[in-house]
Amino acid sequence: MIPLGPIIFGFIFGVIVGSQIKTGNISDTSFKASSYVIIIIAALIMAWQLGEFPYYDFLPISSGFVFALIGVLLSKFLIARSS
């Protein structure tokens, strides 16, 4: 059985926080698509090292962490308009 709790609530929490990430505010540093690829790679390595946290073993990575990242990045690109 796939536990839906961390998937649904990780995603919702990620969307809530990620909707306020607006990189358009930054004046002297730019974040391009490649920056987000690096963030995704680093986060996936971290999720792999965290393992099946706390015990959800349907994926070999931490599912709450990964779905939070998906929520943050999706809402950053779709909802946070000034980016």
Partner 1 sequence: MSQILKLISLPISIILICLGIMTILGGHITPGGGFQGGAMIASGVILSLLVYGLGNSPIEFSHLYVEVFESIGALGFIVLGLIGLFAGGFFLYNVGADIFNIVPASIQNLLHYPDTTNAGIIPYLNIFVGLKVFAGLSCIVIAFEGFKKFTEEDEG
CA distances from 12 to 51, 68, 75 (A): 22, 8, 10
How many residues belong to the chain? 83
| Ranges within 32-71 binding partner 1 (CB under 8 A) | 35, 38-39, 42-43, 46, 50, 53-55, 62, 64-65, 68-69
Asked if 21 touches partner 1 (CB under 8 A), the answer is yes
Nearest approach in angstroms of CB 9 to partner 1 is 6
Amino acid at 71: G
Asked if 78 touches partner 1 (CB under 8 A), the answer is no
Interface ranges with partner 1 (CB under 8 A): 1, 3-6, 8-10, 13-14, 16-18, 20-23, 25-29, 31, 35, 38-39, 42-43, 46, 50, 53-55, 62, 64-65, 68-69, 72-73
